[in-house]
Amino acid sequence: MNLSRNVGRSLAAPVTLWLLAAFAMPLGVVMLLSLHEYSDIFGPLLRPPSLEQFRLVLGDRFYLGILFETLLLAGGVTLVSVLLGYPLALWLVSVPTRWRSLAFMVILIPLLTNVVVRSLGIVLLLSPDGILNSILGFVGIGPFRNMLYNHFAVMVALAQVFMPFVVLALYDVLQGTNPRVKEAAESLGASPSMVFWTVRFPMALPGLRAGIIIVFLMASTAYVSATILGGGRVLTSGLLVYREAIVNLNFPTAAALTLVMTVASLAFSALVILVFKYLMPWMNTARNSGRPNATLPAIPAPLMRAQEILGPVIYWILLMAAIGLLLMPLYLVVVQSFNDVPQASSARFRGFTTKWYEIVLTNGNYTDAFLNSVKLAVSATVIALALSIPAAFALSRFRFPGLTMLAVFWALPLSLPGVAIGVGMLKLLSIFIILPPFLGLLAVHVVLVIPFCISLLVASVQQLDRSQEEAAASLGANGVVRFFRIILPGLAPGLAAASIMAFLSSFGEVTVTGFLTTARMTTLPVRIYADASFMLEPTVHAVSALTMVITLVALAVLNKIFRVDRLYAR
């Protein structure tokens, strides 16, 4: 048992060390700032501690109201993302493998599109003369004139971009469910609904848990979509943190708000984990303490019958809604990138031009920024995976004191608004010598993508068939051979999902990067954000369109060279 503990600890060490070096410091700064009695931007970081800021935040009904509203919004986003993402994940695993990279592409479109462009797409969808009203008008409903600039609009926008995370989290576990289990259920006379609720759904619960936590934490810190689609009416705590920190330069209040928010969202995550533990009595992660014959509570027969009739209809409606929502930006980006207007926000088509592409392709700045972003995202993904694989094993196969605390620490970067990390970094920059820009950004990006990788990989590791490892061991394979010949191939779909997620989050990151960017190290999203800081031109559409084309080509080429379908399916 001692040996096993030590193995667990050493597996947990790399990721912990990285986070201690690159994340604990800015987090510590944020904590120190929150204990400042008043804001003094030039004052020393170390001051006699005071709880004044927390008193201010917790004693103000306005702040508390917004915190509550944010949690509610994040909950709503999570619910919509799961409702739309689940059918999508089911569809994705049913797509023939050779079409799967195209199907993946559909899911990744929103993640490949700049956040501003995505939000514009939602405006077009929900506006009074927009697409949704046209469709509803066709079947004689509506029009609804007040769908924009409220919580609903923000929720749709956030669900659009976070739904892919649910899909990717579910994808691997759904994919990993042995088809024979399904066949066994069918041979015992189970209807498709029955198979879903008694076999596929319970077996995919670890993925669902990862998806819910990721989406909730991200939605609770989001603020760009809230700004654009909330029309000034939707306030989130992320937005308040941004205002206090950047507009008012009031770091202490921003820090206190951040910490209160983080504690609240972590409490939610803990609740989710507890609920899922109750739902999955057979999966008690400690060794052998699970009850293999335990099941979910049975579904009442009338409900099941209703399910059988309505299930497929609901499935198709949700699937169509999900795909429609995902494809929105594609339409917008492709049409608008050829639109001859100087403003990206206009929906009216006024003439065909290719000049936005010319600007993007001939102005070397975009190319440089693109290459910087790719370099950064690839390095961050590789490092984060290397750190997360052992961590995922530590979490799912070992028990040692302090492991739960470590797991919380590993998830922290996801629950802290980017602005807060940026402020912590800024404070550090004013104290210490500046790091080489690339390394500084890389360190932070790895921190930001680690939580995705770990949560996805934990679900994958739990799915691994341990009897294969035991068989290999009994045939004389040592640890290294088993890792490369058995474990890694088994983890391939999970690794593919995690790297896609990590790559795209790093590739699109702008809030923290915006603070750390320097003259020689500008990333593509920061460039787009900078353009938007003056006036958003359709170059942003051209950039998004080119990013999509490049991704599609890259996926296709990878498919040819490496037989990526083996990544998509075990």
Q: Footprint of other proteins on this chain (CB under 8 A)?
A: 41-42, 62, 120, 123, 127-130, 148-149, 227-228, 231-233, 235, 243, 245-250, 341-348, 350, 422-423, 426-427, 429-430, 434, 514-515, 517-520, 522, 526-527, 529-537
The distance of closest approach from Cβ of residue 235 to other proteins in the complex, given in angstroms and rounded to an integer, is 7
Tokens at 296, concatenated = 């979910």
Q: How many residues does the chain have?
A: 570
Q: How far is the CB of 549 from other proteins (least distance, A)?
A: 23
Neighbours of 20 (CB within 10 A): 12
Instruction: Name which of 39 and 177 has its Cβ closer to other proteins.
Output: 39
Q: Which candidate, 379, 378, 388, 386, places its Cα nearest to that of 453?
A: 388
339 phi and psi angles, rounded to 5 deg: -80, 130
In angstroms, the CA 38 to CA 434 distance is: 27
The two tokens of residue 85 are 């993402």
Q: Determine the residue type at 192.
A: P
Which of 305, 310, 115, 79 has its CA nearest to residue 222?
A: 115
Cα separation of the two ends of the chain: 32
Local structure of residue 1 (DSSP, 8 states): -
C-beta of residue 254 within 8 angstroms of C-beta of residue 245? yes
CB 380 within 8 A of CB 442: yes
Identify which of residues 119 and 262 has a Cβ nearer to other proteins in the complex.
Answer: 119
Give the residue with the Cβ less far from other proteins, 16 or 346: 346
Which C-beta is closer to other proteins: that of 4 or that of 365?
Answer: 365
Q: Which residue has the tokens 């390095």?
A: 379
Q: How far is the CB of 233 from other proteins (least distance, A)?
A: 6
Least distance in Å: CB of 215 to other proteins?
25
Q: What's the min distance (Å) between Cβ of 354 and other proteins?
A: 18
Closer CB to other proteins, 229 or 406, in the complex = 229
* Distance of alpha carbon 526 from alpha carbon 260, whole angstroms: 28
- Closest approach, Cβ 110 to other proteins, in A, equals 20
Between CA 50 and CA 453 the distance in angstroms is: 37
Least Å distance, CB 248 to other proteins, is: 4
Q: What is the closest distance, in whole angstroms, from the C-beta atom of residue 69 to other proteins in the complex? A: 11
Least CB distance to other proteins at residue 227 (A): 6
CB nearer to other proteins: pick between 527 and 541? 527
Beta-carbon count within 10 A of 373 CB:
22
Nearer Cβ to other proteins (349/562): 349
The structure tokens listed for 476 are 């004389």
Nearer to other proteins, 155 or 322 (CB): 155
CB nearer to other proteins: give 429 or 552: 429
Our CB check for other proteins shows the closer of 246 and 266 to be 246
Residue 101 or 345: the one with the smaller Cβ distance to other proteins is: 345
Q: How far is the CB of 246 from other proteins (least distance, A)?
A: 4
What's the angle, vertex CA 308, arms to CA 303 and CA 314, rounded to 5? 95
Q: Does residue 423 contact residue 498 with C-beta atoms inside 8 Å?
A: no
* Complex with other proteins: residue 469 or 531, whichever CB lies closer: 531
Residue whose structure tokens are 């929720």 = 155
466 or 520, CB closer to other proteins?
A: 520
Minimum gap (Å) between residue 300 Cβ and other proteins: 44
Q: What is the dihedral of CA 136, 138, 142, 147, to 10 degrees?
A: 40
Is the bond preceding 143 in cis, omega lying within 30 degrees of 0? yes
Q: Which helix (H) or strand (E) holds 266?
A: helix 251-279
The minimum distance between CB 363 and other proteins, in angstroms, equals: 8
How many angstroms from the chain centroid is the CA of residue 196?
A: 26
Dihedral angle, C-alpha 103, 105, 109, 113, nearest 10 °: 180
183 phi, psi to nearest 5 deg: -60, -40
Q: How is the chain split among helix, strand and coil, in percent rounded to 5?
A: 75, 0, 25
Tell me the closest approach of the beta carbon of residue 419 to other proteins, in angstroms. 10
User: DSSP readout, 87-130?
Assistant: HHHHHHHHS-GGGHHHHHHHHHHHHHS-HHHHHHHHHHHHSTTS
Within a 10 A sphere around the Cβ of 248, how many other Cβ atoms?
A: 11
Question: What is the closest distance, in whole angstroms, from the C-beta atom of residue 154 to other proteins in the complex?
Answer: 13
Tokens for 235, please give them: 């306030």
Instruction: Please say which residue, 65 or 479, places its beta carbon nearer to other proteins.
Output: 65
Inter-helix orientation angle 301-336/539-562, to 10°? 120
